[in-house]
């Protein structure tokens, strides 16, 4: 899990997390940005067989619950 406080997520952030996944030989990672106007979450999967990562905007139920909690707390 990589946490950022940037105005928006950039391609460099995606490259960084994919590099972490590859070097750690992990299949899944999550990039969370707290610095933008809207809370940003991206899930990434590294497939060593295809030698490229695939990013997807998939929010798991746990992260969805966290997002709902943060929305309530910010009011």
For the chain, domain boundaries: 2-74
- Rounded Cα distance, 51 and 33, in Å: 26
Under DSSP, is residue 25 helix (H, G, I), strand (E, B) or coil?
A: coil
Helices (H), the chain: 11-24, 61-74
- Rounded Cα distance, 13 and 11, in Å: 5
- Rounded Cα distance, 32 and 62, in Å: 13
Going by C-alpha positions, the residue among 62, 14, 5 that lies closest to residue 39 is 5
DSSP label at residue 56 = E
pLDDT tens digits in sequence order for the chain, 75 residues long: 888 999 988 999 998 988 888 888 888 889 999 998 888 889 988 776 655 444 444 445 556 666 666 665 555
pLDDT of residue 39: 85
């Amino acid at each position: 899990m990589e946490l950022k406080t940037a105005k928006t997520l950039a391609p460099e952030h995606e490259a960084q997390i994919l590099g972490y996944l590859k070097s750690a030989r992990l299949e899944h990672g999550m990039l969370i940005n707290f610095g933008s106007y809207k809370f940003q979450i991206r899930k990434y999967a590294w497939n060593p067989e295809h030698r490229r990562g695939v990013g997807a905007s998939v929010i798991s139920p746990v992260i969805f619950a966290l997002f709902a909690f943060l929305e309530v707390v910010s009011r």
